[in-house]
Structure 1
Amino acid sequence: MKSMSPAYYQLLFDQSPVSIWVEDFSKIVEYVSRLQAEKITDIRAFFMTYPDKFVDCISLLRVVDVNQATLNMYKAKSTGELLENIERVFTKESAACLMESVVALSEGKRHFAGNGVNYDLDGNKLTIRISWNIPGDGDVDYSNIIVAIQDITEMVNIRNESEGREALFRCIFEQSSEGMMLVSKAGKVFLVNEAFSGLTGLNASEIVDREVWDIFSDFSQLITLETPAKLTKEYFLNTFARLDGGDSSYEYSYLDNKHKLHAHKMNIVRIKTNQDDLFALITTDMTAVYRSEAITHILHRISHQVNVQSSLDELFRTIHEALGRLIDVKNIYIALYDSKSNLITFPYLVDEMNEDGSPVEADHEISLTAQIISEAQPLLLDEEAIKRRVNSNKFFGAVCKNFLGVPLILSKQVIGALVVQSYSRGDLYDEEDRSLLESVSEQIAFALHKKQSDENIMTMIQAIEQAGEGIIIFSPEGYISYVNAVFEKTTGYRRIELIDKPVEYLPFDPNSKSDMSQSWLRVRSSQPWRGKIDLIRKDGTKITLDMVVKPVIDHDNRLSSIVASCKDVTYEIMREEQLKRTQRLEAIGRLTGGIAHDFNNVLSAIIGYTELASDEMVPGSESANYLQEVLKSSNRAKEMIAHLLSFSRQEESKTEIIELVDHVKESVRFLKSYLPKSIKIKENYLADKSTVVAVSGQIHQIIINFGTNAMHAIKHDNGLINIQVEQVSFSSKDMLAFPELEQCHYLLISVTDNGTGIDESLMDHIFDPYFTTKSANEGTGLGLSIVHSIVSSHHGAIRVSSRIGEGTTFKVYLPLYLADTWYPSNPEHIEDADVSGTENIMFIDDEPMLVNVFRQGLMRLGYQVEGFADPRKAQEYFSKNYHKVDLLVTDTTMPYMNGVDLAEWMLEIKPNLPIILCTGFTTLVSSEEARRKGIRDFIMKPYKIKDLAGTIRNLLDGDKK
């Protein structure tokens, strides 16, 4: 190859557009070689440890020559000017690149390239790329090394700007406090930042590659929305479709699982790209703003209530409701501290586990409330802290899992505490909640101070607290200066009608005026008065007020005003009277049951002895007929006792198929026995068939209640009660008037009187419990309510019509029983059966006359009978002769041992012993329970000898089979 002349290379050097330096590295190489000879192997580490050594080394560099491009690049007029200012070109920022160049020389490298920083003589910073090459493979001449320097400042700036923009975007996207998602037009999410995950509690893996509406659907399952969220598929797609620049925003608030308020604002922004459009969903956390607004609202409500609230209880409830918007207040209480008594009271307590609001002493050692008040510091305890206190016996009251309390401080004095707690979560409250309660506590303390400092307002509050409702304030002279709205509503008088009127203007009942005069004299002498007074409302009705009148004494010990508080207790007094009537009715029922028990014993003896006497008579004789009449009367008495037991509700309500007409007739006979002679009863029975499924005793109650009401309604001497039973059938059209009825065929009981009638205004209330227009001695207000209940339970209907001065008609519709086959009953079949026998019977009853009569009666039928009036003697006999006993008949209620216990005792000795339990009235044991205990059968007192013998015969014959 033809070699080039030196002039050619000089031309290339001078005209090259690249900055070229000819440098002498030989001294630097020698310096590095000496270091290596001194066993310094890591030149870079050495120079970094000893930077002054590096300065010494780099100062050995000699610049031999530079080309014109170099002078242009560094703004030098000549090579001399450049070299004289070489320290301005190579600054400390150049050291890193120069050090790497020296390290390359120390490692024997023949080429080097690196980036660094220089400055031109005008002070402009240059980003440069330095490179040198040592050609050939032989010995190196380090005295003339060609170094090329390229100005890459603009290129680096462009690259940095591009990287900076990308980094800025990613930084903004990733580090933004706003939740961001990039979503396709089809709604698919392909990029989401951590802030959005933090706002929603959803992981990025649960979001990317899913439709945005599904994501918000999942999110809504974790929260309780306060405002309705419309973030549906339809909403997003419609928004994406209509956005053509600008954005669309939507706000919603919700409560998290700790009942803390949160709010989000979501902006949807369209991003136009070369390909499909993208949408940025930017979710801004508005929680701080919403909470701030909520706190401001709370403070405003408290401030407002200071002046307008009627009581401290209302103020506390307002605080409770307002705080519920921000934190969980399921369990909250406000405690007040009285420094004089050193007691902490709890005027407001809402707690699911602890309703004990008893005061505690302020120096109570383990009370958390006492600690808050005594230390004047907030107290936040999590579950672990509470467990430690409980384990060390330093906890008082119901044990919770999370506790937060703050003191109520006013003028550096603690006046109480505000506390919330949780029994279900140990992490419900945090420091943010503590700060919230502290800010609210200041307003509460101020509210208390405001109310306590204003004597007139406190007087009003005291009156309201003491009276509960109506309030009147009088001047010392007795003129009305204030009436509250409750008093207006109670009396019917408007405030403008009462203000400035004297106390005598109030419409007290004449009987109460003297009481008010005495109370006025008492109050004027600085003594309070309390009593019940009657007042006539503006509409003319009389009401009873529980009134408290108190003097208000000023600081000079003078009467400044008189406060009267009143509460309408008319309804309470009525309820008390009705309760007393009900209790008297229940007492009568219990007395009826007791009387029935004793009377049944007497009646059993009468029936038994009558049967024995009848057996001695010639059938058909006059004496035999007389005794049959005695038996009929005894049966009538037995039925009356059954009705009394039904009335007292001491018998089970057992439905059966009955002939309604027969039971109505029977009830009418009973009704006639106590109606006054001036009232006549007319009966009319028109039904061919009167079979119903009913409780017979309750049919009796219906007739008796209607008859009794008619008796009270008839105030004249020509009283008439018309009782009629007929069969009725309804068409489909007729049934529209009776929506409660289910079939078409009914029996109609009509009871009509010619009494005073019922006022139309009262018709809607006559079936209400305790409603009555009668005097205290005439009724309880329960009769028609009971009738309505009975008719409803029988799937029937009841209607009433009335005219004032003419009378009232009650109509009861009961379903007619229709069977496929009708079998007439034969109540006398026992009389004709053979009930004799020869078995050994034990008969036990605490009434000796019953033992005697039934022992004789059963022995006449052939039985061997051992009778006992004392169950203890029966035990003694049975323990010795149990093998002889074939059957036991025992009364239920006896001294020393009841019949059930006696039967169980005997069954332990003889397990298969047939036992019949006799009773006239008892709640000792039900028939089902008795049979489970081994008792075979029941027989109700009073009963005939042959009835008992028939039951005995059935049991013994059944065992033989």
Structure 2
Amino acid sequence: DGSRFFALGEMMPLHADDGIHIGYLKILRDRTDQRLATDVLQQQTDLLQTVADHVSEAVFQLDLDGVVTFANRRAHTMLGWDAGMLIGQDLHEAAHHHYPDGRPFPASECNFVEAIREGKVLREREATFFRQDGTPVEMICSNAPIFRGEVLVGAVLTVSDVTKRRQDERRLQELNETLGELVAERTQERDRIWQVSQDMLGVADANGVWISINPAWPRILGWDYGEIIGKTSEWLEHPDDREKTRAEVDRLAAGGLTLAFENRFRARDGSYRTLSWTAVPVEGLLYCVSRDVTEEKERAASLLQTEEALRQSQKLEAVGQLTGGVAHDFNNLLTVIKSSTDLLKRPDLTEERRERYIGAISDTVDRAAKLTGQLLAFARRQALRPEVFDANQSVQAIGDMVATLTGARIEVAIRIEDESCRISADPSQFDTALVNMAVNARDAMDGEGRLTIAVDRASTIPALRSHPEQAGDFVRIALSDTGTGIPADQLDRIFEPFFTTKGVGQGTGLGLSQVFGFAKQSGGEVLVESEVGRGTTFSLYLPRATIEGSSLEDAASSEPTVDGRGTCVLVVEDNREVGLFSTQTLEELGYSTHWVANASEALLALAAKPIAYDVVFSDVVMPGMNGVELGREIRRLYPGLPVVLTSGYSHVLAQESDHGFQLLQKPYSVEQLSRLLSKAASRKRRKRVGGR
């Protein structure tokens, strides 16, 4: 039928009877089924080899003597053999020849060769194999016997490499042991801390019920362990602290991060201990640390009282020094005035002497006014009249006067900026501050040396005393001398009123105090740098003005006394003597006057005769409504009526200057009073004419 078949052929020679070779006889045997069976077997063998080479375990087939009849790729790589080289090897001998000490293969408590011969099945037994280079490999082994029919012919051995796993397990075990030792040590430390801590340690539930406390609780509060455990702290808390404590505990239990506050707990002896608490929530429990700060609080309170007492003592000392200085200087001035008035009473007094004594009284009054002005400037209570002016021009203008003050043996050098350095300050006080610093420098140089006055711009005021560095736009006026310098222990005192290192009668000790007060009240600062034997530099820092300004009218003009006839003045003065003197003075100058004692009476007088008065002349410091408040009310009710204010001192004026009103400082001269009132009244008359 044309199909093929597989045959096994044999060739046999043929001979005749006489032995002559006559040919061959070919005998064929049909082997088709056998060939097919062989092919199937080969295919199955190839498939088995492929599967075995791709599993992660080593697979061995051994005969009853332990000889390898099959080994997959993993078996060769695991033991370090080249491919196919394990076939025919005695598995025991293949590894044994590297080890002269005779260790069995595999090195384990279980002998697999014996198990194979006995037909035993072993599952996941631990063993140690050795690579060809001698490296140990830790294994998990299992075997299964192979039978042909009922005859045992060998076994299959599967091996898993667990070397890395075992190493990891050993490392983990070592780590656990180390960690266990560390935990044990930390536990012992925690227990020791718990026992010996001076702070109160405790664990409470979310409701604030104490679960555990350390021995510091009984030691600090005196209550026994059993009296606190199982309860909240409410019965211990000071009544004034319960609401705060409950709120903190609730906040912490609700998920707050940390509790930190103070409260008071009642001790067994009835006293209250102040406790500082810190607590954190962990898995529904509150872990708390409380420190007894009772003694710290008491020490702090005691220290505060001591510091307050020291401050009061220092204040009294300063007041004593200030009072003594004021009393000394004013008594000197009053002595001159008293002596002059006594001499004026003498009947045989000549006109020349009379004028001399009157001049002495006038000069002494001016000196007294200057003294009070310096005191007010130091205290930053001087009523300033700020103007915008160029510091360069003012320093240049006052240079000649400074040179006259210092004397011919002191060289005065002035260095100014090319660019304008405008400031907003009281020009009179500015000039006084420069003169005071120049006189101080002159005295430090004992009349001979060099004084340099420099003006420049600065972007910062250096850190000084207790103040940090201050950034801004400033003008710096620096006076540097070549004098004896100031010792370091006196630098912090040189601005104190009446503090001086000069001899008796050589100075009041108020010059630098005026500089200090003027700088502070003007929004600036004064800095001193000095080196003993080398000289001193005073630096006056004032805020730089960004806009031009106009000068206020100068009440001390050199204009002559003005006749006041035709001008009616409403005088508001609560002091009887001053009121009488003021009205009498004005009447002698030709003014008509009406004097009232306070602001309420002034408003009533104006309401009765609103057009009768040309100007209101009012003191600032009065009971009830002060002069500034009265001026504002008059401005609101009678917009065209001018108001002139006068004061020897007023904190209202010190804080906000003149509030836009004309201001006459006490003590004032008759000429100053007449000129200022006349100017104010003339403005009103000009407005009336313009209104017509």
Same fold (TM over 0.5): no
Normalised by the size of structure 2, how large is the TM-score?
0.42
Highest RCO, 1 vs 2 (Cα 8 Å, sep ≥ 6)? 2
Structure with the greater alpha carbon radius of gyration: 2
